[in-house]
Amino acid sequence: QQQQGGGGGGELLSSTATGTLPVTPATPLTDAMIANIASIFKKAKEGFIAYAMYCSNYNQSAALLNEGRTPFLDWCDARNPSGNQSSSLQSYLIKPVQRILKYPLLLKEMRDCLADPSELRTVVVEALRVVTGAANYTNEMTRLVDAFATEMKARPNHISLGACLDELLWHGEVAWLNALDDKGKSRKAAFGHLIVLKTQAFFFESRERKEAVRRGSRSGSTPSMPTTVYSFKYVASIDPASLVVEDLAPESENDVQLSFTFAFTPLPGSEIGPGRLVLQAADEAHRQHAMASLKKCKEAVLAQRSAALASAAGDGAAERYEI
- Provide the CA 146 distance to its chain's centre, in angstroms: 10
pLDDT, tens digit, 9 for 90 and up, residues 226-273: 677 778 888 777 778 777 776 655 555 544 444 555 555 454 544 455
Between 255 and 299, name the one with better pLDDT: 299
Paired with 208 in beta bridges are 230
192: pLDDT confidence band, cut at 50, 70 and 90? confident
pLDDT, tens digit, 9 for 90 and up, residues 128-156: 999 999 999 999 999 999 999 888 887 76
Distance separating alpha carbons of residues 101 and 43, to the nearest angstrom: 18
Mean pLDDT of the chain: 76
Paired with 206 in beta bridges are 232
225: pLDDT confidence band, cut at 50, 70 and 90? low
Q: Could you write out the DSSP letters of every residue in 248-286?
A: E--SSTT--SEEEEEEE-BPTT-SS--EEEEEEESSHHH
